[in-house]
Amino acid sequence: MSDHTNKNIYLPYMATVSEVIDETPDVRTLKLVFQDEQVRENFSFRAGQFAEYSAFGAGESTFCIASSPTRKGFIECCFRSVGRVTEALRRLEVGDTMGVRGPYGNSFPIEEFFGKNLLFVTGGIALPPLRTLIWNCLDWRDKFGDITIVYGARTESDLVYKRELQEWQERADVRLVKTVDPGGNGPEWDGKVGFVPTVLEEAAPSADSTIALVCGPPIMIKFTLPVLEKLGFTDDQVYTTLENRMKCGLGKCGRCNVGNVYVCKDGPVFTARQVKAMPLEF
Amino acid sequence: MQKYISRQNFTKLLDQLIATGTRVVAPRMNAGTPLYEPLASSAEMVMDQLPRRSAKEAYFPVCEDIMTYEKEGQKVSITDIDPARFPETVLVGVRPCDACAIPVLDAVFSWDYKDEFFLERRRKTTIVGLACTTSDDACFCTAVGLSPADTKGSDLFLTPLEGGGYVCETFSDKGEALINDHTSLFNEPNNATPLPLAQPYTEKFDLKKVKVWLDEHFEDSSWDEIALRCVGCGACAFVCPACHCFDIVDEGTEKAGKRRKNWDACGFWKFTHHASGHNPRDQQPKRYRNRIMHKFKYYDDKFGQTLCTGCGRCIRVCPVGIDIAQIVEEISKK
């Protein structure tokens, strides 16, 4: 829904917080409903796109749109409270107003994945950027082959979307492999114990006709890519979504670049081949 | 269109513009420093000194309101900025190194999404360029392929003549309008001799070669050497006619305030610092590398030009004596 008319491109849409969900002690989901009826009806985005969310008085922060484009009438964002803006966003209550600019950036080429198996590999707070695509694919379930989700966090309490993990675990058409780092498991833990790359290697999903979608902290990505390679994935079969600090989201403010690649315009979704061609600046 | 204007009529032109409510921005002395600033009268103008900062502030302010917000109960209302508040401006005495940077910035603010704050101010600004007849050790416009008489970016261009007065050449409708609206002040060109142009730098850099080296040397030990002295003060970006990075910040309280677009600089450590603590450019050489890369490679990759006009301002203000011309020259010889 790019707006290229001669309007103020920095003006946010106004949205009402309709639900607040605590995912972990410091990670929160906000469900947002656009206040303007026309925007509510017309706002459309693709899985993988991001937005600038504002807490007035504190400023804007960049996160992915964490809900699925197939679910209409609202969007969700999910963030950890670590800075001025996210702490202000955390102070918002149901009924409060916040600003949303977007959707920005490219998206997962979901149509190219039709007919293929999907392997999602993610860790910690990096599930939200893939969760939008996971639900998009689950809502279009018959268009895809096997769906495998490998998700890990440091501890059980650091897992986000716990209720959805439960749902995916119970579905016959999804294979969920959940794990926590050694020492992060409580007595009731029914998943694996181990780091994501190790658990991925053990789970050994087939690379045949499969697209891998990876998102996680740099350290997880670093050790996951070689495992995928070992499993037979080529760099064109692997997608990831990058994040860098942004302000405008529009290719102007000059800070999200990795070499000559602007994460806000050329990304945030890239193939492993594209990422490997970039200098180490993310 | 080519015309002649005497020195006396030129001051009349500026005073008439000022009298009719046009904002006239030109080099003037501010506490001993020449700066492009709005004039109260043509008498304030100093044409013979290169302003310390570039002319970009006239159409890309250091701080600019982009909206205001007000909270009442749980509702927040925002108010857009009315572009009518941007003043009709004639920017006078603009050096070629400043004027040549204007189309370069136009490209950034108009590709894909249109930044109307920049573009509307630009539409309302007439650029009156001025050929340079003097230069100093820091000037290197000729080295990056421009010249002291480069007319790029100018709507009207002035060439100073022996014995005073200027040849005025128009390069756009805006430039012609400025003459047509004040025809009595202009005469047909005479055969007075133009003052000799400045001769800033004898050598011309091989910018293609510079780019080829940059293409292949993101990782290179010389970045540490090049940027060892850099203290990350950001002065180079603030005086640069082509630097355009900005920040978006809220100023005010939760109840009311404004959102602003403020100049920023890639030399600042916080520029790319994530809230998590991670920083992709965590050391000064990485930040300085981005400055050089953006100017001589990234911008070129995207828009096919160099993001440096050789004005030399960053060299003049750098507190630790970093000389970008020297750096680029050395790269061109690698």
Contacts of A58 in chain B (CB under 8 A): 250, 254
**Would you say residue A275 lies in a domain?**
no
- Does A130 lie in the same domain as A29? no
Q: What is the CA angle A258-A60-B82, rounded to 5? A: 110
Using one digit for the tens of pLDDT, what is the confidence trace for B241-295? Answer: 999 999 999 999 999 999 999 999 999 999 999 998 999 999 999 999 999 999 9
Element (H, E) at B109: helix B101-110
Domain count, chain A: 2
Q: Which domain holds residue A79?
A: 13-104
For residue A5, tell me if it sits in a domain.
no
Q: Pick from A77, A104, A131: which residue ends a domain? A: A104
pLDDT of residue B202: 74
Using the Cβ of B281 and the Cβ atoms of chain A, whether some distance falls under 8 Å is answered with: yes
**Statement: residue B138 has pLDDT above 60:** yes
Do residues A85 and A167 both lie within one domain? no
What pLDDT does residue A6 have? 66
Let me know the angle formed at the C-alpha of B101 by B99 and B102, rounded to the nearest 5 degrees.
70
Asked if A148 and A173 sit in the same domain, the reply is yes
**Co-location of A40 and A141 in the same domain:** no
Please state the rounded mean pLDDT for residues B106-115: 96
Token pair of B41 as six digits: 């009268």
Indicate yes or no: CB of A252 within 8 angstroms of CB of B108: yes
Domain for residue A200, yes or no?
Answer: yes
Map residue A63 onto helix, strand or coil. strand
- What contacts A105, CB < 8 A, 6 or more positions away? A48, A49, A50, A249, A263, A264, A265, A267, A268, A269
Determine the distance in angstroms separating the CA of B61 from the nearest CA of chain A, rounded to an integer.
14
Closest-approach residue (CA) in chain A for B299: A260
Question: What CATH number does the domain containing A202 carry?
Answer: 3.40.50.80
Q: What's the whole-number mean pLDDT along residues B13-42?
A: 97
Tell me: do A117 and A237 sit in the same domain: yes
Q: Compute CA B275 distance to the chain's CA centroid, rounded to the nearest angstrom.
A: 31
- Do B248 and A279 count as a contact with CB atoms less than 8 A apart? no
User: Does residue B157 have a pLDDT over 80?
Assistant: yes
Interface pTM (ipTM) of the complex? 0.93
Residue with tokens 């103020």: A8
H/E segment holding residue B171? none
Mean pLDDT taken over chain B: 96
Note whether A84 and A145 are same-domain residues. Answer: no
A59 with A171, same domain: the answer is: no
Domain ranges of chain B: 2-332
Nearest 5 degrees, angle CA B157-CA B161-CA B94? 30
Tokens standing for residue B320: 């630790």
Say what the pTM is: 0.94
- Spatial separation of the C-alpha atoms in residues A156 and A185, rounded to whole Å: 6
Question: Which of A255, A263, A265 has the highest number of chain B CBs within 10 A, making it the mutation to test binding with B?
Answer: A255
Distance, first Cα to last Cα, chain B: 45
Residues in B closer than 8 angstroms to A259, CB to CB, are: 218, 293, 298
The pLDDT of residue B87 is above 80: yes
Check if B246 contacts A (Cβ < 8 Å). Answer: yes
pLDDT value at B98 more than 70: yes
Is A235 in the same domain as A163? Answer: yes
CA distance B30 to chain A (A): 30
Residue A162 belongs to a domain: yes
Count chain A–chain B contacts defined by CB atoms under 8 A: 140
Are A95 and A188 in a shared domain?
no
What is the distance of C-alpha A241 from the center of its chain?
A: 8
Q: Give how far Cα B213 sits from Cα of A72, B283, B302, B325, Å.
A: 50, 22, 17, 16
- Mean pLDDT, consecutive 10-residue stretches, chain A (282 aa), reads 67 98 97 96 97 97 97 96 96 97 97 98 96 98 98 96 97 97 94 97 96 93 95 97 94 95 96 94 87
**B63 inside 8 A of chain A by CB:** no
Residue in this structure with the two tokens 């897992």, named with its chain if needed: A159
CATH number at residue A99: 2.40.30.10
Any bridge partners for residue B125, and if so which? B89
Q: Do A93 and A136 belong together in one domain?
A: no
Report residue B150 CA to chain centroid gap: 15
Give the model's pLDDT for residue A5: 54
> At residue B48, does pLDDT exceed 70?
yes
Would you say residue A6 lies in a domain? no
Q: Is A13 within 8 Å of A36 (Cβ atoms)?
A: yes
Distance from CA of B222 to the nearest CA of A (A): 16
Terminal C-alpha separation, chain A: 28
Catalogue the E-assigned strands of B121-223. 125-130, 156-160, 166-170
Distance CA B314, CA B319 (A): 10
Q: Is residue A175 part of a domain?
A: yes
Q: CA nearest B73 in A: which residue?
A: A96
Contact predicate A240/A210, CB 8 Å: no
Give the end of a domain, one of A104, A131, A161. Answer: A104
| Sign of the Cα pseudo-torsion (A234, A236, A238, A244, in order) | positive
Is the pLDDT score of B163 beyond 90? no
CA distance A222 to A228: 11
The burial class, CB within 10 Å (0-12 / 13-18 / 19+), for B238 is buried
**Which of A4, A26, A260, A263 should one mutate to test binding to chain B, selecting the residue with the greatest count of B CBs within 10 A?**
A260
